[in-house]
A and B are shown apart, each in its own frame.
Chain A
Amino acid sequence: MERITPLLWLLFSAGGTVAALLFPVHFFLTALAFPLGWLEAPSYEFLHRLLTHPLTRLYLFILISLPLFHWAHRFRYTLYDGLQLKHLTVLIAVLCYGAALAGTAMAAYLLWDIS
């Protein structure tokens, strides 16, 4: 664990930056502006066409994966310190990073699978 801590910290900070720069606009459009009808949601055909471009796929992979690792790292410490669960260190770390890995794998699979 100690040896990969720098890597985990790097993922945490890269993910935090991606989430800070790009999540507000994506979130605002997808979860608020489109559902509330302020702006028209892009059509299936349009998004599907966007997804056929490799750069879009790379972008989405980074957009989904890095913030998940950001979450894993930060939430781990939230659980330790906030809920005083220091004795469950290993279990919490496995669950958090495991979930981030699972999300990353799913993103990779879906992005690979698109025809």
Chain B
Amino acid sequence: MSAEPHYTLYHPRWYRRRVSVWWWLQKRSYTGFVLRELTSIFVAFFAVVYLWQLRALTQGPEAYEQFLARLTTPLFLALDTVAFLFVLFHAITWFNLTPKAMVVRWRGKRVPDWLILGLNYAAWLVLSGAVAFVLLRE
């Protein structure tokens, strides 16, 4: 009993099937899941575009004109179209998840899913309208 027992975190001798990095292409629901996870990249992309615009606005009118011109290049238009679709996918999947993630009770009864969904989409509509109103008011 002199030898110390030897523990390893992993068990290399156990049989484990190697899973391909492309496992999510085999089933539609898996693909949907991964696409939903990938929306975060495009969310970050847009946050960076807005930072860029903000920086241009702090630098002056020429920088802002340059920012506007850059966004009209084919590269950005193509990228932005794809990114917009992903951001939209994020919004829709996010709203559809809320009733599952957040169970709201009102006077002892569970608020039905359709009501929470409806409120989400209504808030989306109102806020989008408000943003458009402010930005197009000029």
Contact = CB atoms under 8 A, between A and B. Distances in A.
B46 A26 contact: yes
- How many of chain A's residues touch chain B, expressed as a range? 35 or more
A106 interface: yes
A44 B51 contact: no
A103 B43 CA distance: 13
Contacts of A28: 84
B64 A47 contact: yes
A41 B68 contact: yes
Given A48-B57, A63-B50, A20 B124 contact: yes
Interface string A42-67: 11111110110000000010011001
Contact of A64 (B50, B72, B83): B50
Contact of A60 (B50, B77, B81, B132): B50
A106 B134 CA distance: 24
Interface in B30-81: 34, 37-38, 40-41, 43-44, 46-51, 53-55, 57-58, 60-61, 64-65, 68, 71-72, 76-77, 80-81
B40 A71 contact: yes
Contacts of B1: none
A47 B61 CA distance: 10
A35 interface: yes
Contacts, number: 148
A43 to B, nearest CB: 7
Given A42-B138, A74-B37, A32 B81 contact: yes
Contacts of A17: 94
A110 B54 contact: yes
B10 to A, nearest CB: 10
Nearest to B129: A25
B21 interface: yes
A34 B68 contact: yes
Nearest to B92: A20
A19 B44 CA distance: 9
A102 to B, nearest CB: 10
